[in-house]
Amino acid sequence: MSDIIQLLPDHVANQIAAGEVVQRPASVVKELLENAIDSGATNIKLIVKDAGKALVQVIDNGIGMSPTDARLSFERHATSKIKKAEDLFNLHTKGFRGEALASIAAIAHVELKTKQDQQEIGTYIKIEGSAVTLQENVATAKGTSISVKNLFYNIPARRNFLKSNTVETRHIVDEFQRVALAHPNISFSFYHNENEIYNLITGNLRQRIVAIFGKKTNEKLVPIEEETAIVTVQGFVTKPEFAKKQRGEQFFFVNDRFIKSTYLNHAVTSAFESLISNGQFPTYFLYLTVPADSIDINIHPTKTEIKFNDEKTLYAILRSTIKHSLGQYNVAPVLDFERSASFDTPYDFKNKNTSTPRVSVNPDFNPFKTEKQNSINFPYKRETTQQWESLYTGIDVENIEVESTLVNSKLFSETSTNSKTYQIHNKYIVSSIKSGIVYIHQNLAHQRILYEEFLENITVKEALSQQLLFPLEIHFNKTDIILIKEIKEDLENIGFLFDKILDDTIVIKGIPVTITESQISSIIEQLLEDIKNDVPDASFSQLDVMAKSLSKSLAIKTGTNIELKEQEEIVNKLFNCKQPDVSPFGKTTFVTIDIDEIDKKFNN
């Protein structure tokens, strides 16, 4: 029998290796930024086009490379970080495996310009699919500039697995934030499609956090600091009242490297026990410094998971440190030196007896008299009419038409118009139909109703808006502001009215009539999170995500008591929907039980 085992060609082996290193454009961003940091750069610029699919470029002012090093950097397992196996357990740098540039060059068009400080001229290398097509001398600034173009150009199947630009951009922003937060002593700038997203100057950790997540973050932070023989813990957690419904802003760094650890995350959440309600998550920026030989960062291809020698001790130290800091914040008394002493009781009156106040009543006063009371003079005249109709825009009271949709549903055609509804366990609405009984899930049914209403408002007609008496300011980070600008027109179509949108603040002057003012902030936060995490490949899909998110946020919750008229309205509106049998997320909204099935229960 002939031999069947053979060595893979280099280009195939490189593409397989690239599958580990480069999962999406954000992976390229991470590897290139880490290389720039290892080069000793103090200023790093990231340029991205088309969510990284067309271009990812990183420019740094580091030490640069010689012509020989520049060429060797694209070979597999070529690195300046380790020389022997023992070095793997005493790492102080980011990239050490020597696969990043080789893997990237295997699946993209790469251009490298680099120059060392003592060199008069730099080196230019152009690579396409692992093959060097050009190497020459070039005039360039000190440091390195590397451009990665047309990612996955030679692997169309991998390119098809990339998500929408919105999703891929979110992953790039996440990687940029993680690197920037780990190195506040380095200035970073980030440009996407020629728009400046971040321009971060050097500073301390608090300044870097505020620069990334907005000025309002500063007042939310509680400092954490503890130094032991095992670990040094520094950073910040947010005050309990600023806990969020999403896990978004949670950052762990070990020796200036971002990691993910469900075990240590549990230590943080347990420290917030009884301080935040269920379903809420604290925001934290925690930096752990441990001896390099006490961790193993080789257990995961992306190096985001770390194995600790003594996790239990770290857990206990982290939990107690956070609880101590939160205790100081909650318990420490605050001395108000600005308080006026004029409100204090004078010492002369401290022991004096109090006298009962006298109350005088006019026996001739008649509140039902219509004549003007001469004893009271009002300097201002109250307006007799109030322009309440100005609070509603887009509402023509005289020409409101009630639309009805013809539904071919067999169930709806059999529904008795005089049937009475009942609510069971504040969860289900029960109504009788000619063939039996229908059980309606109030939350899922209301989701379907709102979903179709929002979708119609976004795509077909203009929604009704209610003006706010006082404009509402809501603060977001820069990436969220960019997303809000993208969907601003769609939000206006469903009833939101914006006064202005600033770098880290939006000012809302009108809201949909179905939303209360207290719901606005949480609804928009949830909407942004849903859009980031979904996979909208076209503009309509993004509108669909928006309608789904809003319907889920605003639907009547399970456990809510509903009056009879509201029950009947839900039933009628549900069966006027185009697809009444399922919620926007594909769950069944109602079930029916025929009379025959009920009869069988009694005949057994």
Measure the CA–CA gap between 233 and 204, rounded to whole angstroms.
16
DSSP assignments along 286-302, one per residue? EEEE--GGGEE--SSTT
pLDDT at 418: 53
Q: Which residues contact 187 (CB under 8 A, 6 or more apart)?
A: 42, 43, 44, 200, 201, 202
- The first and second tokens of residue 520, run together, are 């606005």
- The first and second tokens of residue 90, run together, are 């005493």
Co-location of 198 and 165 in the same domain? yes
Measure the CA–CA gap between 192 and 171, rounded to whole angstroms.
13
Amino acid making up residue 134: L
Least confident of 52-56, 96-100, 354-358, 402-406: 402-406
Give the bridge partners for 29, in sequence order.
Answer: none
Q: pLDDT band at 372, cuts 50/70/90?
A: low
Let me know if residue 378 belongs to a domain: no
Closest listed residue to residue 423, CA positions, set 589, 567, 571 = 567
DSSP assignments along 314-331, one per residue? HHHHHHHHHHHHHHHHHH
Least confident of 196-205, 277-286, 292-301: 292-301
pLDDT-above-70 percentage for the chain: 76
Co-location of 286 and 417 in the same domain? no
Which H helix or E strand runs over 146?
strand 143-149
The CATH number of whichever domain residue 269 belongs to comes to 3.30.230.10
E strand intervals along 486-586: 497-501, 505-512
Which phi and psi angles does 598 have, rounded to 5°? -65, -40
Co-location of 581 and 530 in the same domain? yes
What spatial distance separates the first Cα and last Cα of the chain, rounded to whole Å?
A: 71
Cα 364 to its chain centre, rounded Å, is 67
- Please tell me which residue, 68 or 82, carries the higher pLDDT value: 68
pLDDT at 333: 40
pLDDT at 378: 43
Co-location of 295 and 277 in the same domain? yes
Query: What angle is formed at CA 527 by the lines to CA 247 and CA 180, rounded to 5 degrees?
Result: 45
| Contact criterion met (CB below 8 Å) for 256 and 180 | no
Task: Evaluate the CA torsion angle 542, 546, 549, 551 in order and state its sign.
Answer: negative
Q: Which residues contact 213 (CB under 8 A, 6 or more apart)?
A: 249, 477
Least confident of 257-271, 375-389, 555-569, 571-585: 375-389
Measure the CA–CA gap between 306 and 309, rounded to whole angstroms.
10
Co-location of 282 and 415 in the same domain? no
Measure the CA–CA gap between 510 and 497, rounded to whole angstroms.
4
Asked if residue 536 has pLDDT above 80, the reply is no
Let me know if residue 336 belongs to a domain: no
| Contact criterion met (CB below 8 Å) for 490 and 458 | yes
Asked if residue 414 has pLDDT above 70, the reply is no
The CATH number of whichever domain residue 547 belongs to comes to 3.30.1370.100
Which of 203, 236, 265 represents a domain boundary (last residue)? 203
Let me know if residue 428 belongs to a domain: yes
422-451 tens-digit pLDDT: 888 889 999 888 788 899 999 999 999 988
Measure the CA–CA gap between 103 and 99, rounded to whole angstroms.
6
Let me know if residue 391 belongs to a domain: no
Closest listed residue to residue 310, CA positions, set 296, 324, 323, 325 = 296
Closest listed residue to residue 147, CA positions, set 198, 109, 179, 191 = 109
Measure the CA–CA gap between 507 and 591, rounded to whole angstroms.
44
Asked if residue 331 has pLDDT above 50, the reply is no
Which of 276, 299, 330 represents a domain boundary (last residue)? 330
Q: Which residues contact 147 (CB under 8 A, 6 or more apart)?
A: 55, 56, 57, 110, 111, 112
DSSP assignments along 451-494, one per residue? HHHHHHHHHTSPPPEEEEEEEEEEE--HHHHHHHHHTHHHHHHT
Let me know if residue 374 belongs to a domain: no
- Please tell me which residue, 456 or 222, carries the higher pLDDT value: 222
The CATH number of whichever domain residue 130 belongs to comes to 3.30.565.10
Co-location of 124 and 252 in the same domain? no
Gyration radius of the chain over CA positions:
32
Asked if residue 18 has pLDDT above 80, the reply is no
Asked if residue 383 has pLDDT above 90, the reply is no
| Contact criterion met (CB below 8 Å) for 39 and 143 | yes
- Determine the structural domain holding residue 41 and report its residue range: 10-203
Residue whose entry in the numeric block shows the structure tokens 């397989």: 16
Q: pLDDT band at 488, cuts 50/70/90?
A: confident
Co-location of 178 and 216 in the same domain? no
SS3 assignment, position 418:
coil
226-235 tens-digit pLDDT: 988 888 999 9
pLDDT at 340: 53
Co-location of 192 and 225 in the same domain? no
| Contact criterion met (CB below 8 Å) for 74 and 132 | yes
- Please tell me which residue, 33 or 337, carries the higher pLDDT value: 33
**Assign residue 130 a region: left if phi > 0, alpha if psi is -120 to 50, beta otherwise?**
left
Residue whose entry in the numeric block shows the structure tokens 């969220």: 480
Amino acid making up residue 568: E
Let me know if residue 342 belongs to a domain: no
Average pLDDT over residues 55-78: 86
Co-location of 495 and 510 in the same domain? yes
SS3 assignment, position 309:
coil
Co-location of 264 and 286 in the same domain? yes
Let me know if residue 106 belongs to a domain: yes
Query: What angle is formed at CA 281 by the lines to CA 275 and CA 285, rounded to 5 degrees?
Result: 100
Measure the CA–CA gap between 318 and 272, rounded to whole angstroms.
12
Q: Beta 436-441 vs 590-594: how paired, if at all?
A: antiparallel
Closest listed residue to residue 394, CA positions, set 488, 495, 499, 470 = 495
Q: pLDDT band at 300, cuts 50/70/90?
A: low
Residue 407 Cα distances to 332, 572, 579, 581, 601, angstroms:
64, 11, 9, 12, 32
> Structural domain tally of the chain?
3
Arithmetic mean of pLDDT over the chain? 79
Co-location of 147 and 186 in the same domain? yes
Co-location of 542 and 586 in the same domain? yes
Average pLDDT over residues 468-484: 85
What does the CA dihedral 213, 304, 189, 67 come to, rounded to 10 degrees? 170
Which of 203, 220, 245 represents a domain boundary (last residue)? 203
Measure the CA–CA gap between 287 and 290, rounded to whole angstroms.
10
- Please return the burial class of 334, using the count of CB atoms within 10 Å of its CB with bins 0-12, 13-18 and 19+: exposed
pLDDT at 164: 80
pLDDT at 496: 87
- Please tell me which residue, 486 or 128, carries the higher pLDDT value: 128
Let me know if residue 168 belongs to a domain: yes
